[in-house]
Structure 1
Amino acid sequence: MKNLLLSNWHVMRIFRLAFAVFLFVQAYNTHEWFFIIFGLFFFIQALFNSGCGPKGCAVPQKKYPKK
């Protein structure tokens, strides 16, 4: 678990973390607490390095060989 949280930090992961912090600050400043839900979404993505990869969010299609 420690290895998952502390390794493989890249630009998109840092951007998600910064955007989550931005949403938390905006929720606090404007008292629009609905922004916290979106902030938590991006925070969890940044923390666990989940989300869409370089090929997008599409589900990979299994290719069968032609017979």
Structure 2
Amino acid sequence: MKNYLRNWNWMRLLRLAMGVFIIVQGFTDQQWLPIALGGLFSLMPLMNIGCSGGSDCSTSVPKSNKKMEDITYEEVR
């Protein structure tokens, strides 16, 4: 339970609030599509998943062993 409740930030709270708001609007308008979308928006912060929840989108850091050479400049008049 500790692991589940930690690492909450303002973005997760905002997504949860948006999801609950969309669900409530779907119920008041008696529309099923907003209820389903609100459920999706509510499950994402609760399960801590998102577009890159598994860090699958990260790029590798290029490793370069080349040494940087000093560049000398000439003054042009």
TM-score, normalised on structure 1? Answer: 0.71
| 2:32 alignment partner, SS class | coil
Which of structures 1 and 2 has the bigger CA Rg? 2
CA separation of 1:62 and 1:39: change in aligned 2, threshold 3 A: same
Aligned to 2:37: 38
Q: C-alpha deviations, 1:10-64, integer Å up to 9, x for none? A: 00000011001101100110011111111111111110111145xxx98234567
Change (3 A) 1:10 1:65: closer
Runs of 4+ in 1 over 2 A off after TM superposition: 57-66
| Percent identity of equivalent pairs | 32
Query: Which of the numbers 57, 60, 69 marks the counterpart of 1:59?
Result: 57
- The two structures, once aligned, show a CA RMSD in angstroms of 2.5
Kindly indicate whether the alpha-carbon contact (under 8 Å) linking 1:4 and 1:48 is maintained by their aligned counterparts in 2. no
Structure 1 residue 4 displacement after superposition: 3.6
Question: If each structure's helix is expressed as a fraction of its own residues, which one has the higher value?
Answer: 1
Tell me the TM-score normalized by structure 2.
0.64
The higher-RCO structure (CA 8 Å, 6+ apart) is: 1
Letter in 2 for 1:48: M
Task: For structure 1, list consecutive stretches of 5 or more residues without a partner in the other structure.
Answer: none
Q: Which runs of 5+ in 2 are unaligned?
A: 65-77
Aligned residues: 63
